[in-house]
Amino acid sequence: MDNGHTSGPPGPSGQQDRLGAGWETYRPAVFGAAYRLLGSVADAEDVTQDVWLRAAGADLRQIDDLRAWLVTVAARRCYDILRSARVRREAYVGPWLPEPLLTGPDAAEPVLVDESVTSAMLLIMEELSPPERVAFVLHDVFGLQFARIAQVLGVSAPAARQLASRARRRVARAKQSAPQAPKAERERVLAAFRAAYEAGDLAGLVRLLHPDVVYVTDGGGRIPAARKLIHGGERVAEVMVRVGRQWRPDRIDLAEVGGELALVFHREGRVYSVDTVQITEGLITAYRRVVNPEKLQHL
């Protein structure tokens, strides 16, 4: 993908240098905004490329705040995609999960990492309407003014403020009902879970799973996967042990995904599963597994 690092746009003298320097600085924000709004690495990359092409043809002398302008262009494109995504999502086979984004030292895409890029948060934002999601991400994550957000959504500034406020309340309620564990606790639980999984230790897995845990698998109809949620610690552990025997992973890595520690399963030289978890009081309350090859090919 042409990410704008090696070629410069046409335009007035000085514009090429400004965009080149600005793009180096603000590209992570552009990609990060698109990923938060769409939950897809591939779509976020496409939007980022669109923004670069738009910037390359624009007169940047008329732009005071380049970062805000670039993020706004990205958000406008994402908003168009979001409004059509509902139809695509309804046709999706089985549960839908966000496309995993590696955010550790080996990440291919630089991205501004905070709570809003975690899989749990992306799932919460998935429940928002497209206008609410755009208003929330642009204001609460990227600090854009409501007048600018209003232009993206085609509403008044007070209406944009109201959309962000409503989204903020919904997000706060969802986060309160499922608080996330501290980093050290996640490391301890996931390390113990990996050891039990590799050993096929059913009892060990049950001890780490909440009695009411929910297991979500996103295969997208591309690979055999549970098309319904599976509930209950013992039932989930049994499924995991059975799947582990069938898949026989070459190795299981602990890696940073969406700013949080996750499990990455490898087999035959490729990533075939990325698993993120919700942990509360030392137990896994939600286990989310992405096996859809289309969502893993960028890894």
pLDDT tens-place string over residues 139-155? 999 999 999 999 999 99
Domain with CATH 1.20.140.160 in the chain: 15-177
183-296 CATH: 3.10.450.50
Separation in Å, CA 67 to CA 18, 44, 82, 129, 230: 12, 17, 22, 25, 43
Which pLDDT score is estimated for 4? Answer: 40
76 pLDDT above the threshold of 50: yes
121 pLDDT above the threshold of 90: yes
Better-predicted residue by pLDDT, 7 or 198: 198
Q: Which two tokens stand for residue 233?
A: 């610690």
Cβ neighbourhood burial of 48 (10 Å; 0-12, 13-18, 19+): buried
Distance CA(226)–CA(215), nearest Å, equals 9
Count of residues in the chain = 299
What Rg value do the Cα atoms of the chain yield, rounded? 21
- How are strands ordered across the β-sheet holding 230-231? 230-231, 209-218, 283-290, 270-280, 260-267, 251-257
1 pLDDT above the threshold of 90: no
Confidence of residue 100 (pLDDT cuts 50, 70, 90): very high
Which pLDDT score is estimated for 6? Answer: 35
15-177 CATH: 1.20.140.160
193 pLDDT above the threshold of 70: yes
Most confident of 14-18, 197-201, 221-225: 197-201
- pTM, two decimals, is 0.87
Distance CA(278)–CA(294), nearest Å, equals 24
Which pLDDT score is estimated for 25? Answer: 87
Better-predicted residue by pLDDT, 234 or 55: 234
Q: Which two tokens stand for residue 243?
A: 């799947």
Distance CA(207)–CA(188), nearest Å, equals 13
Which pLDDT score is estimated for 213? Answer: 97
3 pLDDT above the threshold of 60: no
Distance CA(109)–CA(42), nearest Å, equals 11
15 pLDDT above the threshold of 70: no
Separation in Å, CA 136 to CA 22, 31, 74, 170, 190: 24, 16, 15, 11, 31
| Cα of 183 vs its chain's centroid, Å | 18
Most confident of 13-22, 113-122, 273-282: 273-282
Query: pLDDT exceeding 90 applies to what percent of the chain?
Result: 68
Name the residue among 282, 237, 290 with its Cα closest to residue 40: 290
Give the distance between the most distant pair of CA atoms in the chain: 68
Domain with CATH 3.10.450.50 in the chain: 183-296
